[in-house]
Structure 1
Amino acid sequence: MSTDTSKDGGPLAPRQRERRALSYSLVCSIVLAVSALVVGVVTGIRIIVFDGAYMAIGLILSWASLQAARAAAAGPTRRFPFGRDALAPLMVVIQGLALAGTLVLAFGDALVVIRDGGSDMNVVIVSSYGFITGMTGFVIAWWLRKTAQGSDLVAAEIAQWKAGSVLSVIMVAGAVVVAVLALTPLREVARFADPFLVIIACVVLAAVPVRLVRGGVNELLEGAPPPKLAASIATVIESVRSDFDLPDPIVRAGKVGQKIYVEVDFVVPPDAWSVSEEDRVRRAIIDRLLPLEFEVWAYVAVTSDESLAY
């Protein structure tokens, strides 16, 4: 758990940590995207241009994610009585689709370069650039994970930074290959290294947008929460059931952004429970879910009418 503190010395809430992480990610994206595009355009090296374009799109999405986090943190309004937490998975889906579009365009451009006879690559520039951006990306991804665990928006940012770092590693490896080829009779093959690096990067990164879109759509369609979270919810409910000597419940759970919805129905004999006792069960479930660091919306019913539990 993060130990970050607020201005008054208390611990930062999950939503505050989320916005802080997204803000820092945005600043880092601006610096690296501008640097990459300048280096790529000046040198004419496509793999660096691709990396710069990738980070530029990430920059726009980081800004949009930050706005989505702020809107979700504003809480319920008259127009949105359940809040706007659905903006988080929506932004995750948009990030996935934008990344997929970037990969498709870069893949197509690489094929055109190969058809036209390849292009030259400056080994020193590519290897230096790849090493610096790769190390930077891994450090930022580590810091984001440490700062705001449990945030889907930050998890999407981490996926983008890790993907960028993998791309940088591919750059360095490609530069080494080109340097070796330059010392052999296959030196002409080195002209195709740049577009082939782009193609390899697109293939390696292809799983990232798929994962982002799949996870975001699952939340938008009110699917089951991730297995680890679902197991934690099940453990809490089982402990409460045991403490109050209740029968096995009917449980429905879902997650949208930083909010979890839990509906628990216990079917008991008629006239066996009072409203105050039902409130105690509900309070116990809510209190034991709070350490998961999500906003909890829990509906707990102790009913003797089994038809109301379905």
Structure 2
Amino acid sequence: MCARTSLNEKRILTFSALLASGFAGGGLVLGLLVGSLVIVFDGVYSLVSLLLTLLSLAASRYIQRPSKSLFPFGKAILEPVVIAIKGLVILLVVSYSLYSAIIAMFNGGREVDASIATLFGVVNVIGCGYAWWYIANKSKRFSSGLIAAEATQWKMDTLLSVAVTLGFISAWLVSVSPFAEYAVYADPMMMILMSFYFIKVPFDMLREALRELLMMSPSDEICHAVDKEVSALEQQVSQKLNVVGVAKVGRELRVRLDVHSKGNQVEVAEVERTRRILKDKLSKLSLDLNLTMNIAS
């Protein structure tokens, strides 16, 4: 990763951490004051987001430091490790919140001041929506799994805030209707409905991170790009190239090729030329290429 991208990654993660700290404090305090399970979950989620963002920031800084003795093959593996931790922690938070909401439903619901909760929800929607938009745009410009995971976190927080706001508006409408006695079930019911959606997002984060840690095949887009460029490269060089394996680990693209000479021997200069051309062609993927070329008999 270039120095400019690394610097921007740190700035974005720092911005995210500062914003998450504000939402975490506000959500926890207000949620406890008005007795809302959903707002407390929003505050807890923001607090977890803050801690996970600090973890991402620490990992980003550590990855840039040279440490050949501890990581002789580079630190790219640390990125999916951090993302896997984030996915697992968020999954646990959502699962516990779902459990609490189900218990609340069986215990007669929870009464909440819908007016204050709705105002809090509107402020959260604006703040989280801005953070999601800002970080998602930066993620498109800078190839970083940590920034992409951060954008996913804020996307979840924004959708959570929208659901909370709409839910409390609905709860207020129910409270002034002939069905006012059922308004106490609005808060836990919102939490249950949101949990079923939110469980999928961290699960996907965890699954993709584990795929990278296990060195499984990356997306079809990446595999197709590698196959296409290697096939085109064969027309420019005097060797036959076979793609043996492709894996994405963090911001690193690992490609292994078998090189078969079309003549009696393989020229070292020609191998280096092949390496240089392929690295240039695959630069459009915005990943650091780790290319292994084996001379096959």
TM range (shorter): over 0.9
Deviation at 1:279, TM superposition (A): 1.1
- Within the candidate set 232, 236, 245, 1:243 is matched to 236
246-255 or 282-291, larger mean C-alpha shift = 246-255
Q: Which residue of 1 aligns with 2:220?
A: 227
User: 5 Å matches for 1:268-287?
Assistant: 268-287=261-280
How far apart, CA to CA, are the structure 1 residues paired with 2:174 and 2:33? Answer: 24
Is 1:112 paired with 2:100?
no
User: 5 Å matches for 1:118-267?
Assistant: 118-149=109-140, 150-244=143-237, 246-267=239-260
Amino acid at match of 1:120: E
- 1:247 is paired with a residue whose SS is strand
**Normalised TM-score (structure 2):** 0.92
Deviation at 1:168, TM superposition (A): 1.0
How far apart, CA to CA, are the structure 2 residues paired with 1:304 and 1:162? Answer: 48
- 1:24 is paired with a residue whose SS is helix
Report the count of equivalent residues: 294
**Normalised TM-score (structure 1):** 0.88
Deviation at 1:285, TM superposition (A): 1.0
- 1:22-80 CA-to-partner distances (Å, cap 9, x unmatched) read 11111111111111111112222211111000111111111111111112222442221
Cα RMSD of the aligned pairs, angstroms, is 1.9
Q: Which residue of 1 aligns with 2:42?
A: 51
- 1:79 is paired with a residue whose SS is coil
Structure 1 residue runs of 4+, over 4 Å off? none
How far apart, CA to CA, are the structure 1 residues paired with 2:266 and 2:104? Answer: 74
User: 5 Å matches for 1:59-98?
Assistant: 59-98=50-89
Amino acid at match of 2:158: S
Distance 1:234 1:129, change over 3 A: farther
Distance 1:179 1:38, change over 3 A: same
Check conservation: 1:14, 1:148, Cα contact below 8 A.
no
Amino acid at match of 2:233: V
169-178 or 13-22, larger mean C-alpha shift = 13-22
Deviation at 1:217, TM superposition (A): 0.2
Check conservation: 1:90, 1:220, Cα contact below 8 A.
yes
Check conservation: 1:111, 1:195, Cα contact below 8 A.
yes
Is 1:41 paired with 2:32?
yes
User: 5 Å matches for 1:289-300?
Assistant: 289-300=282-293
How far apart, CA to CA, are the structure 1 residues paired with 2:85 and 2:248? Answer: 18
How far apart, CA to CA, are the structure 1 residues paired with 2:261 and 2:238? Answer: 11
How far apart, CA to CA, are the structure 2 residues paired with 1:304 and 1:160? Answer: 45
Deviation at 1:270, TM superposition (A): 4.5
How far apart, CA to CA, are the structure 2 residues paired with 1:14 and 1:244? Answer: 33
177-186 or 237-246, larger mean C-alpha shift = 237-246
- Structure 2: any 5+ residue segments left out of the alignment? none
125-134 or 62-71, larger mean C-alpha shift = 125-134
- Structure 1: any 5+ residue segments left out of the alignment? 1-10, 306-310
